[in-house]
Amino acid sequence: AKRLRLILGDQLNAAHTWYQQQDNDTLYVLAELKQETDYAKHHVQKVCAFFAAMQAFANALRNAGHRVLHLTLDDTAKYQDLPALLTGLMSQYQVREFHYQLPDEYRLRQQLSRFCRQLPIAVMAFETEHFYLSDAELKDYFSKGKKHRLEHFYRKMRRRFNLLMQGDAPAGGQWNYDADNRQKLKVADFEFVPAPLLFSNDVSDILTRLERHNIKTIGLAHSSLLWPITRHQANELLQYFCRHCLANFGRFQDAMTGKLDPSNQITNGQLTLESEQIPAQHNKQRSLYHSRLSFALNAKILSPQHVIDTAIASYQQADGAITLAQIEGFVRQILGWREFIRGVYWANMPEYARLNNLAAERQLPSWFWHGDTKMSCMQHAIKQSLDYAYAHHIQRLMVTGNFCLIAGINPDEVDAWYLGIYIDAIEWVEMPNTRGMSQFADGGIVGSKAYAASGNYINKMSDYCSDCHYKVKQTHSENACPLNALYWHFMQRHIEDFSSNPRTRMVYANWLKKPEQTQQLILQRAQYLLNNIENL
């Protein structure tokens, strides 16, 4: 081959201009690599999903007439890392040109550019052609250390890509309908919650391979993978979302429930898609009205444009059955948050990875790795994450994330947990969400305030508290919800960081109104909890 083109596991974009022509001189390479299974302790389903999707992509390219080399861990085990593998392949195939797509992760981008600097052959780096904003223009929108705000960026993006616009004004007259999106799910709503569309991709070979190569993973292994791994499946999931979830997406976006038991999910994607009447046994899950598209998006199996255009088209065809607030909320997540987070990442790396603005130094409690805690909200969010490699945004932000924030867990440990456990976790999107939005370790680059909350918030947005060992209405008694005292302890310890912020001024007014003796009892309770953090 004259030319070797590398395709990374999260670059499965079949619409890339690379593939417009078949060419016998070009060899496409996809490789399972130990450096990728080992840079974090990943959820086993996440490794399976990437490996299975890579394999499916290799097959699809081959069927489309391209020359493809798909290497498994068995084939690559003898190479120390990606550069070693590439060096080996280049001499084996007498390659004279090397092409790659710009990695979205700093670690890989550094590794490849360092490797290429010493290559004696021609090298070309390409855009991934996935995001709304190209890599080259990110610098026009984001600068290092600047406290950019989502809302400002989001409006620019709406205008520029002319999405949900009427002329120069936002459709409906308002840019953002977030205030309509805060409903709790009540028992009476349960019967309407659609079952998730699940697939059953056989990954038993991959599991055996992981074992053979002694790959350390976390979470529950299923030989049948529930996540979409091909463009066809990902499109089915998108259609299913538009048909069954979009109409309530915004409304229940922040709601959480532990009452829908996920233990007996049934996996038959086709069936649920075809049937309007979803069988009751499928109605047992917690992704609620969320799309579960993050893996397909982050692996670039689907493009954000395609997802948004499809959702807007079904909004337009729904004759009012889907309201503007629902579609706007969905568009904001992908056109707004997803692109914003990526911009922040690239403007601030590599320094971002070390930010610890609140000087949080405590270790992550070991129960994050098995979920055995008496706190019902934490138990639900962690066990579900270990079983399904999924939790929705508010579970990540306001349950596990909030706990780490107010308990003062070291952001390196928090990042490592989030980077491993979720099906969609890739550093460019995981890190600004975790270290920034959720831990406020960036001092406000991503968000204007720390998302700290007491048990009251969990009680408002979920049904977790009703069967919890702890009492959500109590603050300093023996069985009081730990989040309450920890919340006040956090606010008190950071009084200098936050008291001038207009968004937290009210909170401090409330704290200072409490009798000093009550303040002392609360702080003592918090100290006790922190000293016994392993046993919560």
Q: Which residues bind ligand FAD (CB under 6 A)?
A: 287, 290-294, 297-298, 333-334, 337-338, 341, 392-393, 396-397, 401, 418, 422, 424-425, 429-430, 433-434, 437-438
For residues 95 and 358, which CB has a smaller minimum distance to ligand FAD in the complex? 358
Kindly tell me the sign of the dihedral angle through the C-alpha atoms of 161, 162, 165, 168: positive
Query: Closest distance between ligand FAD and the C-beta of residue 294, in Å?
Result: 3
Query: Closest distance between ligand FAD and the C-beta of residue 253, in Å?
Result: 7
For residues 101 and 291, which CB has a smaller minimum distance to ligand FAD in the complex? 291
For residues 16 and 396, which CB has a smaller minimum distance to ligand FAD in the complex? 396
Of 308, 175, 181, 334, the closest CA to residue 249 belongs to 181
Query: Closest distance between ligand FAD and the C-beta of residue 409, in Å?
Result: 12
Query: Closest distance between ligand FAD and the C-beta of residue 434, in Å?
Result: 4
The first and second tokens of residue 415, run together, are 């990042």
For residues 76 and 314, which CB has a smaller minimum distance to ligand FAD in the complex? 314
For residues 348 and 475, which CB has a smaller minimum distance to ligand FAD in the complex? 348
Cα distances from 76 to residues 7, 49, 72, 494, in angstroms, run 15, 19, 6, 49
For residues 433 and 454, which CB has a smaller minimum distance to ligand FAD in the complex? 433
Other C-beta atoms lying within 10 Å of the C-beta of residue 272: 21
For residues 332 and 525, which CB has a smaller minimum distance to ligand FAD in the complex? 332
Judge whether 358 and 441 are in contact, CB under 8 Å: yes
CA–CA dist 446, 123 (Å, integer): 35
CA–CA dist 305, 328 (Å, integer): 14
Judge whether 165 and 171 are in contact, CB under 8 Å: yes
Query: Closest distance between ligand FAD and the C-beta of residue 146, in Å?
Result: 18
DSSP per residue, 109-139: HHHHHHHHHT-SSEEEEE--S-SSS-TTTHH
For residues 447 and 482, which CB has a smaller minimum distance to ligand FAD in the complex? 447
Q: Which residue has the tokens 């568009």?
A: 331
The first and second tokens of residue 72, run together, are 């498994």
Query: Closest distance between ligand FAD and the C-beta of residue 437, in Å?
Result: 6
Query: Closest distance between ligand FAD and the C-beta of residue 308, in Å?
Result: 10
> Between 304-317 and 231-240, two packed helices, what is the crossing angle to 10 degrees?
30
Kindly tell me the sign of the dihedral angle through the C-alpha atoms of 248, 254, 258, 262: positive
Contacts of 529 by beta carbon, 8 Å cutoff, 6+ apart: 482, 485, 486, 536
For residues 30 and 425, which CB has a smaller minimum distance to ligand FAD in the complex? 425
Query: Closest distance between ligand FAD and the C-beta of residue 278, in Å?
Result: 18
CA–CA dist 295, 301 (Å, integer): 8
For residues 393 and 514, which CB has a smaller minimum distance to ligand FAD in the complex? 393
Query: Closest distance between ligand FAD and the C-beta of residue 435, in Å?
Result: 9
Element (H, E) at 3: strand 3-6
For residues 4 and 381, which CB has a smaller minimum distance to ligand FAD in the complex? 381
Query: Closest distance between ligand FAD and the C-beta of residue 194, in Å?
Result: 13
Of 236, 296, 261, 270, the closest CA to residue 278 belongs to 270
Rounded to the nearest 10°, the torsion over CA 97, 103, 108, 110 is 70
Query: Closest distance between ligand FAD and the C-beta of residue 199, in Å?
Result: 15
The 3-state DSSP class for residue 354 equals helix
The first and second tokens of residue 46, run together, are 């996440």
